[in-house]
Structure 1
Amino acid sequence: MKKVCVITGGGSGMGLATARLMGKDHTIIICGRSVNKLENAVNDLRNEGIDIYAVACDVSDSISVEKLAAYAKEKGPVVAVIHAAGMSPHMGSAKQIMEVNALGTIHINNTFYKVIEKGGCIIDVSSMSAYLTPKIIMPVGLYKLSVNDPELFMKKIMKRVNLFPKKVRAGVAYGISKHFVIWFAKQDAARFGNKDARVLSVSPGNFETPMGELEKEEADAYTKYCAIKRFGHVEEIASLFAYCASGSAGYLTGVDILCDGGLVASGVNPLKKNGR
């Protein structure tokens, strides 16, 4: 049986590009809330000779994630999980964003820990927003609750988010949720190491994706601060995901990789109108 790579949010953008690349030597399983939205991706990749399947999965629902993991295991040994599903501030409420981005990561890691093969790797996708959001608003002290009591974690974290004015809550929730993803992947490295498996996070900057298109006007204002003055191509981040998940990166775990064209390195301050 071919080795299996699971890609959440794999129907478009960087997830689809990763499916195309990983599909050269893996059975691919992509998932989204609706299988119908994944049909075009499945048909296109099957026409390219890729062994690919689509599964409906809501990552914020633990039972849904368990069904995804069980399905993946039936298809073969699960050696890679690229958790790219997520919501931006333009896609939902603060609560929805936190449930998908933060709680979804908890569910993916906890569930796939049970089925990941020796030498396997989970990549949790964060965002450069984790670096750009002011650290003072990050409720890091609450993050540890996620390990043993995700429900209490969500209750406490949303109580903190709701202290902010309603008009900025979605943005605050996004920044906190992506910062949490980095923390959760790092603290999970030891657990996965017990199975001779790895977990890490990748924080993309602005990429040419459908989600990126929703934020293009706002994101364009920051391109001038990048060392590489353009949006990233999805093939570039897909190559990074594929390498990190491969045996060639077998000593890489418990770390976040920032892939943003040098924006964070510029020292840009999103709270100032001129960026400085």
Structure 2
Amino acid sequence: MEKINKKICVITGGSSGIGLATAFRMGRKGYTLVLAARTPAKMEKAIARLKEEQLEVTACRCDISDWESVQKMAAYAQSLGEVSIVLHIAGMSPHMGNAEAIMRGNALGTVHIHDAFYPILARGGCLVDTSSMSAYLTPEFIMPKKAFPLASTDRDAFLRKMVARVNLLPPKSRAGAAYAISKYFVIQYAKKEAARFGKRGVRVLSITPGNFDTPMGELEKEEAANYLRYNAIQRLGRPDEIAALFAAVSDPEMGYLTGCDILCDGGCIAGGAKALGG
């Protein structure tokens, strides 16, 4: 792609579900899209669908749990134009790996995204992280908050302490706990990072989805059905509904919105939802 005043929007997890729906939204707003995902076959299908609408899009294979991989992805995005927006939507559910893999992908991966894009995001830009409703459902007392500051100073020690907390729990609970703890961390980290990025004129915030009709949501459909009774809106969310939120909060016109989390869950938490079995 020729680099002529292009405004780049990077979307991790952009090959399906919420990420792909958001890619359509951002592409229609005139951004050149860089989709980052682990699975080439899924990316190829996503790219083909986006190009059917004449949207400008390219793909970059990236494992967000690997620092070198994320650095290469950031450098590639920068080579195409001005990196204006990073929408970090990729993540691992409890059904997609063991506790350590989930912690590496969701918690450490978010740190990697922040550190790689901090030097290159354009003034007036925005970085949006993605959490999960489980961060609100899980009791705070299990959260290893003292480990969180290590994310900014010693990533290896950060990961060790996060995994150590999970390993205190029964084996069958560890994947779910790793997911909840990692997603709670994402919210707190985005809030903390708002000040650092703010010095460069960049906004940082997080969005927390509830239960949505996506491929990842399909893996958790039985659990999601149990939570629907708490919803004010008695159905699963549609990907395009939360894609509209990602597009809205990242718009430069929302220039005073930073350092916060936005819960988009159909009213489930407000309806009194608690962790299953809690």
TM over 0.5: yes
Structure 1: state its 5+ residue gaps.
none
One-letter amino acid matched to 2:247: A
The equivalent residue for 1:59 is: 64
Q: Distance in 2 between matches of 1:159 and 1:230?
A: 37
Q: Distance in 1 between matches of 2:111 and 2:176?
A: 20
Structure 2: state its 5+ residue gaps.
none
Show the 5 A alignment for 1:78-93: 78-93=83-98
Q: Percent identity?
A: 55
Deviation at 1:267, TM superposition (A): 1.5
Q: Distance in 2 between matches of 1:272 and 1:85?
A: 27
C-alpha contact 2:35 2:57 (8 A) present in aligned 1: yes
* Residue in structure 2 matching 1:34, options 32, 36, 39: 39
2:161 matches 1:156:
yes
For residues 164-196 of structure 1, what are the alpha-carbon distances to aligned partners after superposition, in whole Å with 9 as ceiling and x for unaligned?
A: 110000000000000000011000001000100
One-letter amino acid matched to 1:225: Y
Q: Distance in 2 between matches of 1:146 and 1:104?
A: 11
Show the 5 A alignment for 1:127-276: 127-272=132-277
C-alpha contact 2:35 2:58 (8 A) present in aligned 1: yes
One-letter amino acid matched to 2:11: I
* Residue in structure 1 matching 2:20, options 16, 19, 22: 16
One-letter amino acid matched to 1:167: K
Runs of 4+ with >6 A deviation: none
Secondary structure of the equivalent of 1:167?
helix
Q: Distance in 2 between matches of 1:271 and 1:49?
A: 44
For residues 185-236 of structure 1, what are the alpha-carbon distances to aligned partners after superposition, in whole Å with 9 as ceiling and x for unaligned?
A: 0000010001000100000000010000000111111111100111111111
2:7 matches 1:3:
yes
C-alpha contact 2:16 2:42 (8 A) present in aligned 1: no
Secondary structure of the equivalent of 1:82?
strand
One-letter amino acid matched to 2:18: M
Query: How many residues are paired up?
Result: 273
The equivalent residue for 1:45 is: 50
Tell me the TM-score normalized by structure 2: 0.97
C-alpha contact 2:248 2:254 (8 A) present in aligned 1: yes
Deviation at 1:159, TM superposition (A): 1.0
Secondary structure of the equivalent of 1:124?
strand
Secondary structure of the equivalent of 2:123?
strand
C-alpha contact 2:16 2:215 (8 A) present in aligned 1: yes
The equivalent residue for 2:123 is: 118
Deviation at 1:272, TM superposition (A): 4.0
C-alpha contact 2:9 2:32 (8 A) present in aligned 1: yes
The equivalent residue for 1:72 is: 77
Tell me the TM-score normalized by structure 1: 0.97
Secondary structure of the equivalent of 1:173?
helix
One-letter amino acid matched to 2:195: A
